[in-house]
Chain A
Amino acid sequence: MIIGRRYIDYKSLLPKIVAGAVVLVLAIFPAIDHSVVTLSILISSGIWGIAAMGFTLILRTGQFSMGQAAFMAIGGYVAAILTVKLGVPFWPSFLASGVLAGVVAFLIGIVVLRVGGTYFSIITLAFGEMVRIVITNWESVTRGAAGILLRPPAPIAIGNFEINFATSIVPYYYFMFLLVAISGLVFWQIDRSRIGGTFRGVAANPMLSEHLGVPLMKYRVIAFTVAGVFTGLAGAFHVHFISVVTPLVYGLWQSIQIMMMSIVGGISSIVGGSLIGAFALYTVSNYLTRVPIFNIQYLVFGAVVVLVVLFLPRGTGIIDLWSRFWRKVFKDSDIYEEFSTD
């Protein structure tokens, strides 16, 4: 870093301006196009994007969670049961769902992350299936396969202006925008801070880190718990958005989908990669569900992911194509490093 001499580096500024413009367009997007179809695709990709961010954060510590959808299920069911059965208002139930998902993640984390690695993957996979089996069968609380129907949250009055969730999809969009912004900020700050650096160290060489006095467990549990909290919040919002929750909404397929979104989007950037991956895959799957062949979605998804993993260079997600593009534009290599750091 050069101190005292400041000049504008156009090469690093231009990509940032483009990225900022995209965020700005997204912020005023309902003014451009407020059709339900487009907005619900964006809202859903934002929700799944948060879950994918959680997955990437856990992956930063070298662990591979295969049950992230279970935390969405916990968040979603807590929100649904609290609001519908117990009559709790929207906000307390929303926050409670995040807290409870975080507590569950913490409890599982302190046991299973001791061994980590493949054991962790197997246990999270089994945990996801177990949660699904319990919510399918525990009919007195979760209403089983029938699911729980939710009413839209109560309108929020600000002066004369009223935010009404029942009449329009736009409030949901801004709620999603805010939720993604807050969780994105938290994940980004964690990732670039000292903790994030320690995560990478723990992943790269657990034994060395332990010998240097870094408590492995502490950092793994932090990552898993933070991911659990935000995944739970995303699940709670998702349930309010689709206004119904059934055991089919969060299963093994969704857990794997979260993983695919993170990997396809690119794990080099925790926020950008997850959101882009979620948007790309959700859009594809949304269009595939309109193809009148049942199961075609599974087939195409599986094949595409395998082909991506086989034929793209290792570690390449969509987000990495972005920095490659700018490197091509400027025919300069140092700008690549500039972007690959965050």
Chain B
Amino acid sequence: MPPAGIWVDGLVQSCIYMTMAFGMVLVFSILGILNWTHGQFYMLGAFVLYYAVTAGIPFPLGLLVSGIVIGGLGMLFERIIIKPLNTPPYGALYVTVATLALIFFFEGAAGLAFGLLPKGLATVLSGAISLGSFDITYQRLAVIIFTLVVMSAMYFVLSSTKVGLAIRAVAQEPVAASLYGISAARVSVTVMGIGCALAAMAGGIIAPVHSVEPFMGRIPMIMSLLAIVIGGLGSLTGAIVGAIILGVLNSVIAYKISFWSEVVLFMLVIIILLVRPQGLFGAAAK
């Protein structure tokens, strides 16, 4: 049995994957495409936070700034690139090509603008809470609490506000929603903004734990994509559960057999696909 600290580490990782996967699924359910650049918004969010904190802005405010800046960038991204491309019959193909190409555009741009060396952010919340046999640093605790707050906020927004109602309506039946006066275009932009802001804030909250560098977005992106596969494409609950499974298992298995844990997780995803092709929470056919 691995020590409790390993489990907590896994939980911290799954919080990040969860926030990212949630944004991706939200975007997928409205726009019908996956945003493959999501990991790079996570990376840019971390950079915005890094520069905000170095400029003297307090950490929570910096987190908000990075969410707003990157959320705005995401909205612009939807308007300029995704919307013109996402037309039938080959829309999904061209959006995929463009967003994949933008992975490298953003990584290259970040490398040029901010440098390639990893940047360490000084721990903002120092100290640790002692829980019997092990300690949790406040920084890690902050990640978990932040995720809980964000997820509850998202639940509230989706279930009991007008915006959330519009999002759910468009996700369910775009044509009928537009007949009731909901602008699908505006919902798309909103959702993209929310998704990118979530990714940016996830990058920001984890920045003091890890270091900030241009290629930091790849592994979280792949892990959250796998979480989406486990949970079923289009299911928000599935994304959350998938992220918890992947994050915790990755940490626990890696404790025993180091890098082979990636292979084990990959096999696990394959087995889940074999047994339940639509994912754990996916609808039977879509």
Interface residues of A, Cβ cutoff 8 Å to B: 64, 66, 108, 111-112, 114-115, 118-119, 121-123, 125-127, 129-130, 133-134, 136-138, 252-253, 256, 259-260, 263, 293-303, 305-306, 309-310, 314-315
Q: Which residue on chain A has the smallest CB distance to residue B278?
A: A115
- Report if B144 contacts A (CB, 8 A): no
A112 touches B108 (CB 8 A): no
B263 touches A256 (CB 8 A): no
Indicate which residue in B90, B102, B225, B258 contacts A126 across the interface (CB closer than 8 Å).
Answer: B225
> Can you list 12 contacts pairing A with B, beta carbon distance less than 8 Å?
A64-B93, A121-B96, A129-B262, A130-B263, A133-B259, A252-B218, A296-B108, A298-B107, A301-B108, A302-B101, A303-B105, A314-B90
One digit per residue, 1 when the CB lies within 8 angstroms of any chain A CB and 0 when it does not, for chain B 252-273 equals 0000001110110010011001
With known contacts A259-B97, A260-B97, A299-B104, A112–B270 Cβ distance under 8 A: yes
Q: Which residue on chain B has the smallest CB distance to residue A117?
A: B233
**Which B residues touch A126, using CB under 8 A?**
222, 225-226, 266, 269
A306, B85: Cα distance in complex, Å: 10
With known contacts A305-B98, A310-B84, A314-B94, A112–B273 Cβ distance under 8 A: yes
Secondary structure class of chain A's binding surface, majority of residues: helix
Indicate which residue in A118, A127, A136, A302 contacts B108 across the interface (CB closer than 8 Å).
Answer: A302
- Report if B103 contacts A (CB, 8 A): yes
Q: Which residue on chain A has the smallest CB distance to residue B277?
A: A115
With known contacts A121-B96, A305-B101, A310-B85, A295–B112 Cβ distance under 8 A: yes
- Report if B34 contacts A (CB, 8 A): yes
Interface residues of B, Cβ cutoff 8 Å to A: 34, 81, 84-85, 90, 93-94, 96-98, 100-109, 111-112, 116, 214, 218-219, 222, 225-226, 228-229, 233, 258-260, 262-263, 266, 269-270, 273-274, 277-278
Q: Which residue on chain A has the smallest CB distance to residue B214?
A: A295
A137, B222: Cα distance in complex, Å: 18
A306 touches B102 (CB 8 A): yes
**Which A residues touch B93, using CB under 8 A?**
64
Q: Which residue on chain A has the smallest CB distance to residue B28?
A: A118
**Which B residues touch A295, using CB under 8 A?**
107-108, 111-112, 116, 214
A125 touches B225 (CB 8 A): yes
Indicate which residue in B81, B219, B277 contacts A306 across the interface (CB closer than 8 Å).
Answer: B81
**Which B residues touch A123, using CB under 8 A?**
229, 269-270, 273
Q: Which residue on chain B has the smallest CB distance to residue A115?
A: B277
**Which B residues touch A130, using CB under 8 A?**
262-263, 266
8 smallest A-B Cβ distances: which pairs?
A302-B105, A298-B108, A299-B108, A305-B101, A295-B111, A137-B259, A298-B104, A302-B104
With known contacts A130-B263, A302-B102, A302-B108, A310–B81 Cβ distance under 8 A: yes
A136, B258: Cα distance in complex, Å: 12
- Say how far A246's CB is from chain B's closest CB, in angstroms: 17
A306, B218: Cα distance in complex, Å: 20
B97 touches A263 (CB 8 A): yes
Q: Taking A301-B101, A314-B94 as given, write out 11 further A-B residue pairs in contact, using a Cβ cutoff of 8 Å, ordered by the A residue number.
A: A121-B96, A123-B273, A129-B222, A256-B103, A260-B101, A296-B108, A298-B104, A299-B112, A301-B104, A302-B105, A314-B90
Indicate which residue in A64, A260, A293, A299 contacts B105 across the interface (CB closer than 8 Å).
Answer: A299
Among A114, A136, A305, find the residue whose CB has the most chain B CB atoms closer than 10 A.
A305
B259 touches A306 (CB 8 A): no
With known contacts A64-B96, A111-B273, A306–B108 Cβ distance under 8 A: no
- Say how far B6's CB is from chain A's closest CB, in angstroms: 19
**Which B residues touch A310, using CB under 8 A?**
81, 84-85, 98
A119 touches B233 (CB 8 A): yes
A2, B280: Cα distance in complex, Å: 58
A302 touches B266 (CB 8 A): no
- Say how far A116's CB is from chain B's closest CB, in angstroms: 9
- Say how far B17's CB is from chain A's closest CB, in angstroms: 13
- Say how far B87's CB is from chain A's closest CB, in angstroms: 8
Q: Which residue on chain B has the smallest CB distance to residue A121?
A: B96
Indicate which residue in A121, A122, A294, A302 contacts B103 across the interface (CB closer than 8 Å).
Answer: A302
With known contacts A306-B101, A306-B102, A119–B273 Cβ distance under 8 A: yes
**Which A residues touch B85, using CB under 8 A?**
309-310
With known contacts A129-B218, A298-B108, A315–B81 Cβ distance under 8 A: no
- Say how far B47's CB is from chain A's closest CB, in angstroms: 15
B262 touches A299 (CB 8 A): no
B274 touches A111 (CB 8 A): yes
**Which A residues touch B34, using CB under 8 A?**
118, 121-122
B101 touches A256 (CB 8 A): yes
A98, B107: Cα distance in complex, Å: 33
Q: Which residue on chain B has the smallest CB distance to residue A64?
A: B96
A137 touches B258 (CB 8 A): yes
